[in-house]
Each structure stands twice: as C-alpha cells, then as structure tokens.
Amino acid sequence: MSDLFSPFSLRGVTLKNRIGVSPMCMYSCRDDGVPTDWHMQHLASRSVGGAGLVITEASAVVPEGRITPADVGIWNDTQMDAHARIVAAVEATGSVAGIQIAHAGRKASRAEPWVHGPAKPSWTTMAPSAEAFEGFAQPHAMTEAEIGAAIAAFVDAAKRSVKAGYRFIEIHGAHGYLAHQFCSPISNRRNDSWGGDFDGRTRFVREVAAAVRAAIPTDTALALRISHTDWVEGGWTTEESVELARQVKALGVDLIDVSSGGLDAGQKIPLGPGYQVPGAAAVKSGAAMPVAAVGLITEPKHAQEILAEGKADLILLARVLLREPYWPVRAAAELGRVEALSIPPQYERGWNTIAPWQMDKAIAEPMQAL
C-alpha cells in the first residue's frame, strides 16, 4: 500500500512523493523548438509547489514531429542547453526532472490551439499508413528508411535528454501520436512487418523502447505513456495494452503511464473523476509493474485512495496544477500530513507559523519579526 507522501524509486531515481506534473505542451517556443523562460518558470514553479516529479512537455525528436511550430524540441544541442536550465531549476527544489520525448506523426503540423480557425499545416506529415486523422492533412505512409530514422531520432533525443540532466525519460506512445498510430489497427493498415497483427503493430514502440533503453544510463528511469484504449470499437484495447506492457517491461521500461484516447475522432470517452484509473489498474496487475494514473484526479483524498487500493504507484496531475501549483501543499494539509510538506527553506516563513489554508491569520501575524 503506497502513500501519496511516501518516496517512490525507479532504478537510481527516488521521488520524494508520488505526485508528478503530467507533461503539458505550452506551445510557447518561437519557430525553433528551444524552450524559453516561460517553460523554465512554468516547470520550476510546479517543483517549488512540491511535486516529486516534473515532466517537461512532449518534446519533439525531429522538427516534423512537432504538433505545432511552437512546440519544444530536443533534436539539437541549442535546445538541449535550454533544457539543462529547466533541469537545474527543477532539481534545485528537490524534485526530479523528467522529459517526454515525442513524434506527432499524422497529428503534426497544426496551429497552436489558441489560434482559432482552420488548421494551417506548415509541413507535410508522415504516419504508418496514408490515413488522415479527421480534420488533419493527409500523411504519407512511412518508408522503412523513415521508420528507422524515427527510431534513431528517439534515441538521439534520449541521449540529449540525459546530457541535459533529465533522470526520467518518458516515450510518448499515447494520444494518437506516432507510436500509438503504429499500435492501433485503425491507423496502421500496413501489411509488412510494421503492421498487421499485434507483433507487427507494436514493433515500432518496442524497437524505440529497446533502443532508448540501450542508449541511456542504467540508473535513468524509463517510462512509456500509452493510451490503454482507443475508446472505439475495433481499435486498440486494454488487453493489448497489458500485453504491450509485459513486453516492454522485459525490454527495460520501468513504468507505464496510463492515459487513453486521442487516436480517432469517433472515440466515446466515459469522462469522470479518475476515468482512466481502471486502465492503470489493469496494466499494473496484468503486467506486474509500476504504473502512473492520470486524468481528472483533482482531490487529494481520491489520489490517496487510488494508491492505497493498489491501483497505481504514482499520480500525475495536469490541469489542476495549472490553476493550483501548490496542490501538493493542500494535499498534505487535507490528508493531515503536514509533516510531509516540502517547503523550500526560502519560503518557510510563509508556512511555518500558520497552516497554509488559514491565510487570514497570516495577515494578522505581527510584522516586528520581519
């Protein structure tokens, strides 16, 4: 039985608690994939807020693998140096810095989400098959050489991530992006060794996982984010996810981060608090390996319950941390775990005389001691 505030170790990496910042694209680069001060502040703020793990957004392994021209990249050394600043800032607070490495495949080449109106493709896209995602440009079917180059790009990105100081690397195999496009029979219509049956469709992600594992230090943690189901009849299933997890575990993947959907516009998602947790629990028990749960987990008691019931080992939070970077502090307070608060020493004066949820008392605190 794990506790939200108990440490969690994967290989040589120990998180101080079970709370992680889920990767979130900020669409805030200029057209060069170099992380900016915005990314640095955004991620460092969440580590100051107390999350044990902070995962930098989907970082493209090649320019054409970006969702939008404003995505972060990790395909060159200038980007790597900017990532190193993020790592230093995040790790200075006692959080572990992680990165998600990604290729968007047929869902690349879009405008930023807040640029309303029709998508404005900037470059042509590739995918396992020449099947467009609804509303997106038609991709071309990848050649053997392009598949090999994409795998090599994941490896280069992983090596750069390690050089930048990241200790947790997550391969993006979810949300309808390239690796997921290979896995799902809806988007993969190939009949060569990269498609067809389960083995063929999962070959790309297995090869990426094996090659990345071989290229990074043994004490670096390696995770794979999957969509455990497409939520579409005839699509990728939870049972296949469990089998994939078993296989990548044998290849050295340490944790499966269990999300869902994003592959097909016809998906019917039963949205509700913790709606993806059953997928995480299925992978955890079926593959006997650590998993992260994510998706509409917003209340500390709920997060604690998921861990206590043995359904997951790590809780990833996204949107709630956008509005509440100090969620881990609230969680410690609400769960009666004030001793587990992880406040940077520079900020202790703000918290040590009062409970954080009693801010009105702070106003009344005598000023003489300042």
Ligand X SMILES: Cc1cc2nc3c(=O)[nH]c(=O)nc-3n(C[C@H](O)[C@H](O)[C@H](O)COP(=O)(O)O)c2cc1C
At its nearest, how many Å lie between ligand X and the CB of residue 192?
28
Residue 186 vs 223, nearer CB to ligand X: 223
Interface with ligand X includes 58 (CB under 6 A)?
Answer: yes
Question: Which residues inside 285-344 make contact with ligand X, applying CB under 6 A?
Answer: 294-296, 317-320
Query: Is 49 within 8 Å of 326 (Cβ atoms)?
Result: yes
Residue 174 vs 343, nearer CB to ligand X: 174
Six-digit token string for 126: 């590739």
Interface with ligand X includes 64 (CB under 6 A)?
Answer: no
CA–CA separation, 31 vs 34, rounded Å? 8
CA–CA separation, 34 vs 82, rounded Å? 7
Interface with ligand X includes 99 (CB under 6 A)?
Answer: no
Q: Stretches 18-26, 128-136, 246-254, 301-309: which one binds ligand X (CB under 6 A)?
A: 18-26
Determine whether 177 is an active site residue. yes
Question: 342 by DSSP, 3-state: which?
Answer: coil
Under DSSP, the state recorded for 142 is P
Question: 252 by DSSP, 3-state: which?
Answer: coil
Question: Which residues inside 20-49 make contact with ligand X, applying CB under 6 A?
Answer: 22-25
Q: What residues does 140 pair with on adjacent strands?
A: 126
Residue 58 vs 256, nearer CB to ligand X: 58
CA–CA separation, 218 vs 135, rounded Å? 42
At its nearest, how many Å lie between ligand X and the CB of residue 114?
10
CA–CA separation, 13 vs 28, rounded Å? 29
| Binds ligand X (CB under 6 A): choice among 110, 175, 180, 206 | 175
Residue 246 vs 302, nearer CB to ligand X: 302
- For the four alpha carbons of 32, 38, 40 and 46, in that order, the dihedral sign comes to negative
Q: Known catalytic residues? A: 177
Question: What does the binding site for ligand X look like in residue numbers (CB under 6 A)?
Answer: 22-25, 57-58, 100, 172, 174-175, 225, 259, 294-296, 317-320
